Amino acid sequence: MRRIMNEYLLGLKLENKAERTIRTYRWFLERFFSICTVPLSLLTADEVREYLNHFTKGKKERTVDAYLSALSSFLQFCLAEEYIEKIVIKKRWRPKIPQSLPKYLNELEFVRVKIAAENMNLRDRSLILFLLSSGCRSSEVSNLAIRDVNLENRCADVIGKGNRERKVHFSEECAVILSEYLKTRNADGIDPLFLNNSGQRLKSNAIYYITRKIGKKADIPQSLHPHCCRHTFATNMLARGASLELIADELGHVNLNTTRIYARILKEDLVTAYQNKMG
């Protein structure tokens, strides 16, 4: 079982899945199969359901859904590799979760974050500006090399989900601060764009920590994380009149329906503004 699980997790890594996702899937699968003594090829739907009930008792619906996603993804891999003959997870097991709107910074919070970043070192300031003005995922930023970035044209070539390449753009302010940051380093084009304090590539978890730290300094009510920066970029683009197609291209969305959720945000904001003014 351990060998098959490692094959699966390696496949996720080669597909450029987020490190956080891989760690979560590994944690759950290891726990699941530590108590599941039935050979993989002999697992039945009833047995899987019993084990899932054990793990998900008292858990929130989103947690249950995450566990099901991890196990379902693993079993799909096993089916493709002919370790099993059929999928033993039923679609009806998934809890019905209402689609929540992405968390993003409003205008005031956006300004407060930028002001707080002015007191940070050049790396952290250029990092938060890049996240806010490019809409990149933390893993995409982590994987960037200096040669991937064109400061003059304010664009960068990133590798997104599914190893898909795309070009993203960033603000003039970000380009200026990023240039100042790179002047502090004796670096080659193949070197990572952002380094940690040990001179190694800045990983996704460190990017998450830095954004949270800036959010706390800005004293905003919500937790600031890389995906919040991504959602802020998308909502700002939409509010300024950008088309959903353009936003999808910048974010690397394959399905335009994924991008349409930002139109819902704008619509609800307009309704709220109307209600505040009109009562």
Catalytic, 262? Answer yes
Catalytic, 231? Answer no
Catalytic, 225? Answer no
Catalytic, 227? Answer yes
At 149, give phi and psi (nearest 5°): -110, 130
Q: Which of 137, 154, 225, 231 is catalytic?
A: 137
Q: Which of 114, 161, 166, 213 is catalytic?
A: 161
Catalytic, 54? Answer no
Q: Which of 17, 26, 103, 227 is catalytic?
A: 227
- Give the strand order in the sheet containing 149-150: 149-150, 155-159, 165-169
Between CA 178 and CA 114 the distance in angstroms is: 14
Q: Where are the beta strands (DSSP E) in the chain?
A: 149-150, 155-159, 165-169
Angle, CA of 74, 78 and 92, to the nearest 5°: 55
Between CA 36 and CA 241 the distance in angstroms is: 53
Catalytic, 230? Answer yes
CA 186 to chain centre: 30
Q: Give catalytic residues, as residue numbers.
A: 137, 161, 227, 230, 253, 262
